[in-house]
Structure formats: structure tokens, C-alpha cells
Chain A
Amino acid sequence: MDTAETGPDPAGVSGALARAARTAVHGGGACGCAPGTVGPLADRDDGTVVRHGGLVAKAHAPGTAPGPHAARLALAGHPDLAGIFLPPVPGVRPEPLDGRPVTLWPYGPPVDPEDPGAAPWEEAARLLALLHRTPPPDGPEGLPAMRAPAKAALAVERMRRTAPGHPAAGTVLAAWRTVPPDPGTRAYLCHGDFHLGQLVRDFRGSWRLIDIDDAGVGDPAWDLARPAAWFAAGLLPPEVWARFLDAYRAAGGPAAGADPWERLDLPARALTVQTAALALAKSTAERRALDEVETVMIDTCARIADSRTVPAPAASP
């Protein structure tokens, strides 16, 4: 998460968002919030987030389609998902900013990024299993597809556009060619972008999933794909992966059988490629060399490319 060091630009979206959050908390009244509880949390391509005391306001990405956004927001607030997703603040509909939808959420403390060893892996796995086991509340028809496969493709596209001459780009593309298109099942509710930054504690102190922007119906194996990719790359210790996988199975999660790789192999390859492609795009933009962890992801892409021949196109749809 890129935390801005400076205050919000008063004339920009983040300034307007900060004012919207303040109004939501105090109306027109005075603010007595502690200084450390007011300020920007994130300002990225995919969303701007500010905190004001007990509330968080998010301006979703430019170009967010209103229909799917409304369906995703309703999902997070649906009673069937209580205890899984953090629900939005009820009854408030802030005005869009620059055409970007704005949502309000309770503030919740996140996982400490400086201490991944303390991360709640079991609880994360349990929440994902519960999400995957929840039938789409009004059937799958009213929900958009979860965006994990699309995000992998977008990351490769971004790398092709911004780092085509990078010495490792060919390796990443060779690994990408082993990933067949996702068949697009619509059977399960999925988060669509799970990682450790997608967990906060609610007012009771219980962990909840946040970030609805990529949620929808799809293949739940994609929600396990990031930890699976880190484990496969040798970055996540086997015992941590085992804890995550065991907790997911114990909670009845449908995406990890006796051989988890039957389901996870394809999405884990895709997430490895996605991570490597974004590393090339970002390091090129920042005019820096790949760091050690990014290099490991490129090495993993090389093994993916070596281990598979390009799959033949499916004979029938």
C-alpha cells in the first residue's frame, strides 16, 4: 500500500474525499479527532482512500462501471455476507467525485505490514472458505464476474506497454503463454484480489475482508492463488502455506482438494506472471533494478516456461 507522506491535495479528489469523510463524521460541527486518525491511507490507480477518525472514505478507480459497482457494494452489505466482508456504513450515499463512486466504511486496523509473521493466515483462509461457501444471495446472474483473471491479463498488457525492452520481459511472456484462458465459471462468490492488505479488524476485533472492487462470481481457486504462488516461488514457508491450506479445508472451502494443485496450478501460474509483470512495469517506471524478491518471481516464471509446453487450444468450447 502506498501511503502518501503529505496531506491531500485540497483541490484534487483526495482533498474533496477528505472533506466528504469529515462531513460524514462531524456534519458541519467541529472536529476533535486525534491528529493521527485523520489523513490519507492510499492513493493509487485503483482507488484513493482517506481516514477520518472512525470512518474511511474511498473514491473508486476512474472508469468504475456504476452497475457492477452497485452490485458489489450491495454484496458487502448483504446479511448473508455479515461476518465475512466488512459492511459499508449503512444509509449514506456520498456524491461521486470526478465521476468516481465514493463509499464510506468503518475504519479497521489492518495487518501490520512490518510483521507478516503475525498475519492471521488461518482467519484469512476461514473467511475465504466462508465466502466461497455462501451461495450468491440473489443468484449469480445479478453479479459481475470477479476480476482476478482480468487483472492478470491487464498486468501483462501493462508490462508489454511500459517495459517491452526489459531483459526479463521475454521470460514473463513465455510463462504467460502456458496459462490458458480462464473458462469463466460463475458458480462461486470470490474476493478477486486477496492478499494480506485485504484484511482489517471490525469494531469487535474480528478480521473481515475489505475491497469489493474485484469481487464477483468465478472460480474460488483464484482467491488462494497469491499465497499459492508465493509458496511455489519459495517465498512463503511451507508451514505457513500448510496452516493456510489446512484452515481453508477445515472451514469447508471448495477450492483445495487432496492435491491442491489440481485447482491451484493455473491461477498460481497466472498470479506469478502478474506479480512479475507488475515488477517489470514498476521497476522500469522507477528506473531501478529488480529487488531480490522480484527476481525470485522472474526465476519462477522461467521455471513455469520450462515446465510446460504451450497447451493446445481446447477442441471445443
Chain B
Amino acid sequence: MQCPKCHAAMHTYNRNGVQIEQCSGCRGIFLDYGELEALTRLESQWTQPAPPPPPAAYPAQPAPPAWGAPHGGHGHGGHYGRRGFGRMLFSS
């Protein structure tokens, strides 16, 4: 199936028994008749937050080890691509 917006391929995911299609290009989601209602119903039955959306490119952020730097805004990812970090990536 092709995305009606950007014409990339759409992939089918199953969320709590509801089939939804997500575009591999623009990440837009296509719902069949009744699926939105089904998802809303599931959500209302669920006391916890709604299930996560279908996977983006990297669904779960990988976890660091126990001694790892706290990620999620507190890491030093800003070094990546900088000259000093480049030096470290390229040497023994």
C-alpha cells in the first residue's frame, strides 16, 4: 500500500489487536474504518498511559550500562561531530 500523501510504502503494525498502517517515508498513520474508535476504546480501558506509537526509525532508545552517563539531555552527545571527538573516534 502506498502513502496517499508522499507515496512511500506503508507498513502494517498491530497495536493491541488493531491493525494500523504507517508510512515509511513521512511516518503518517492510516486508520481503517473503526480503528480510531477501537484505539480510543483500548485507551480508555488502560489505566496506564497509552501504548507507545508504532516504531519510528529507532523505537526504543538503547540503555546505557549502570555506570553510563545519564542520557536524555544530560549526555555529551553535542561532542559528536566536533573535531576533538573526531580525534578520539579515529585513534587507538
Binding site for B on A (CB under 8 A): 1, 46, 111, 113-117, 119, 151, 193, 195-197, 230-243, 245-246, 260-261, 264-265, 268-269, 275, 291-293, 296, 299-300, 303-304, 306-308
CB of B88 within 8 A of CB of A230, answer: yes
A122 vs B23: C-alpha distance when bound (angstroms): 23
CB of A197 within 8 A of CB of B81, answer: no
Q: Is residue B14 within 8 Å, beta carbon to beta carbon, of the partner chain?
A: no
A243 vs B89: C-alpha distance when bound (angstroms): 16
Minimum Cβ distance to chain B for residue A247 (Å): 12
CB of B83 within 8 A of CB of A114, answer: yes
Chain B residues near A304 (CB-CB < 8 A): 67
Compute the total of residue contacts between A and B using a CB distance below 8 Å.
115
Quick one: closest B residue to A296, CB to CB?
A: B76
> With contacts A197-B91, A296-B76 known, what are 14 further pairs, Cβ within 8 A?
A1-B90, A113-B87, A116-B89, A193-B92, A197-B89, A230-B89, A232-B67, A237-B80, A240-B80, A275-B88, A292-B84, A293-B85, A299-B69, A306-B67
Minimum Cβ distance to chain B for residue A172 (Å): 14
Chain A residues near B81 (CB-CB < 8 A): 115-117
Chain A residues near B66 (CB-CB < 8 A): 307
List 12 contacting pairs A-B, 8 Å CB cutoff, sorted by A: A114-B83, A114-B86, A119-B89, A234-B71, A234-B74, A237-B75, A239-B58, A239-B61, A292-B79, A293-B85, A296-B69, A296-B76
Chain A residues near B88 (CB-CB < 8 A): 230, 235, 275, 293
CB of B71 within 8 A of CB of A238, answer: yes
CB of A232 within 8 A of CB of B76, answer: no
Quick one: closest A residue to B68, CB to CB?
A: A232
CB of A300 within 8 A of CB of B90, answer: no
Quick one: closest B residue to A151, CB to CB?
A: B92
Quick one: closest B residue to A114, CB to CB?
A: B86
A150 vs B65: C-alpha distance when bound (angstroms): 23
Minimum Cβ distance to chain A for residue B89 (Å): 5
Q: Is residue B49 within 8 Å, beta carbon to beta carbon, of the partner chain?
A: no
Quick one: closest A residue to B61, CB to CB?
A: A238
A236 vs B71: C-alpha distance when bound (angstroms): 10
Minimum Cβ distance to chain B for residue A225 (Å): 11
Chain A residues near B91 (CB-CB < 8 A): 1, 195, 197
A240 vs B89: C-alpha distance when bound (angstroms): 13
Q: Is residue B34 within 8 Å, beta carbon to beta carbon, of the partner chain?
A: no
CB of A242 within 8 A of CB of B69, answer: no
Q: Is residue B62 within 8 Å, beta carbon to beta carbon, of the partner chain?
A: yes
A235 vs B75: C-alpha distance when bound (angstroms): 7
Q: Is residue B77 within 8 Å, beta carbon to beta carbon, of the partner chain?
A: yes
* Contact A111-B68, Cβ < 8 Å, known A116-B81, A240-B80, A296-B76: no
CB of A291 within 8 A of CB of B84, answer: yes
